Copies of this chain bind each other. A is one copy, B any other.
Amino acid sequence: MNADDKKAVLRMIPYGIYVLTADADGTLAASTVNWVTQSAFAPPLVVVGIKADSGTYKTVKAAQAFALNMLGKDQKALAFTFFRPADVSDGKLSGQSFRKGTTGAPVLIDVLGAVECRLTSIVEQGDHHIVVGEVVEAHLIKPPSGRPDAAILEMKDLGDNVFYGG
């Protein structure tokens, strides 16, 4: 397999930008992620690829729940904020207000919306593991005026040479 071709073809997959959050008995985690897809309607399932050696992965596993916070087109700075380890102070997550969701996962206040998920399966394969969650709560914070998938911040909005995949 040609490595450059593999990279170019895999980078054809378009991605939205999300802040994944979790709370394991007071240990909070928040990371920008993009490897996300829905995987079933009934029950509603989502899949997230999470770096297996990350603190966020450890926290999600311990919490057995997580939230996916959907960033808006104007929230590029927030995406970069959560590329770095989250800092919790003054009741904020890296400066962002949040509230505890029904699963216990932190739900950011200033985002388009969020889904909360109960962890149902993990496929421990590769440098990132496949985390499957059942959507048990949804927060529509800023209802989109057009298509919901036109409102979300996308990987291609982060910069001409910004990719995570390939």
| A residues lining the B interface (CB < 8 Å) | 1-2, 4-6, 8-16, 35-47, 49, 70, 112-115, 120-121, 123, 125-130, 132, 135-140, 143-144, 147-152, 154-156, 160, 165-166
- Cβ of B45 and Cβ of A126 under 8 Å apart? yes
Residue in chain B with minimal CB distance to A120: B125
Contact check: which of B6, B44, B45, B138 meets A138 at CB < 8 Å?
Answer: B6
- Cβ of A16 and Cβ of B16 under 8 Å apart? no
Residues of B within 8 A of A149 (CB): 11-15, 155-156
- Cβ of B35 and Cβ of A37 under 8 Å apart? yes
Residues of B within 8 A of A132 (CB): 123, 125, 130
Say how many copies of this protein the assembly contains.
2
- Cβ of B128 and Cβ of A12 under 8 Å apart? no
Residue in chain B with minimal CB distance to A135: B6
A80: min CB distance to chain B, Å: 18
Contact check: which of B42, B126, B135 meets A41 at CB < 8 Å?
Answer: B126
- Cβ of B112 and Cβ of A39 under 8 Å apart? no
- Cβ of B160 and Cβ of A156 under 8 Å apart? no
Contact check: which of B12, B120, B135 meets A151 at CB < 8 Å?
Answer: B12
- Cβ of B136 and Cβ of A147 under 8 Å apart? no
**Complex Cα–Cα for A1 and B101 (A):** 12
A86: min CB distance to chain B, Å: 22
A60: min CB distance to chain B, Å: 14
**Complex Cα–Cα for A40 and B41 (A):** 24
Residues of B within 8 A of A148 (CB): 8-9, 11-12
